[in-house]
Amino acid sequence: MYSIAIDGPAGAGKSTIAKTIAKKLEFIYVDTGAMYRAMALFFIRSKIDDTDEAVIDAACKNIKVSIAYENGMQQVILNGENVTGQIRAEEVGNMASKTSAYPSVRAALLDLQRDLAKTADILMDGRDIGTNVLPDADLKIYLTASVEVRAKRRYDELIEKGQEADLAVIEEDIKKRDHQDMTRDIAPLKQAEDAVLVDSSGMTIEEVVDTVIREFEKVK
């Protein structure tokens, strides 16, 4: 069984790239960010303050996140409810970025993530997959892009969905998320020593996908 880890900052296109590659290689795609977002959704619904670590620790005992697949698409289940369509809001992403820094939140998901890797050929994306979750992955990719490019992609995505968006606000949000993810004490976002760096700023999705598949062919 093979495993591919794709890490990188918010808005680098990890999910899009990972889904496309997984389909081409017939791997199972595991979106770990969606798992953290599901937990964040629980905290928001429970009106828990993102700075109250003791309450968050206690709440983790009441959260069960699992993954299901329908027509090859990952579905995120929170305490028995399919929340896949509710976890992409900016508010949920910001809460996930803050609360995923807590050891209890990461511990709640770590076993599930590692167990998934034992069951099939998988491609997992997140912030600390190559450095922490799957340190022995066959291929590690660090996918990044400039803040400006990432903000514009997110802006276009929101406009396409018919939502209001402010490019300057999105840019600031991304900078904040980068800082939070890179400076947290537990499993901060960083490039694994043995990861291949891919900067997608000037690349199409197809070019990034081809680059990663070429790298995978080298380690097969």
Is 66 marked as binding a ligand?
Answer: no
CB 115 within 8 A of CB 66: no
DSSP state of 27: P
φ/ψ of residue 88, rounded to 5: -95, 0
Is 12 marked as binding a ligand?
Answer: yes
Is 15 marked as binding a ligand?
Answer: yes
Is 152 marked as binding a ligand?
Answer: no
CB 171 within 8 A of CB 148: yes
Is 23 marked as binding a ligand?
Answer: no
Is 14 marked as binding a ligand?
Answer: yes
Is 8 marked as binding a ligand?
Answer: yes
Secondary structure element (H or E) that encloses residue 97, with its range: helix 90-99
CA pair distance 187, 128, nearest whole angstrom: 6
CA pair distance 169, 172, nearest whole angstrom: 5
Handedness of CA 89, 93, 94, 98 (dihedral sign): positive
Binding-site annotation, residues for ATP: 8-16
Binding-site annotation, residues: 8-16
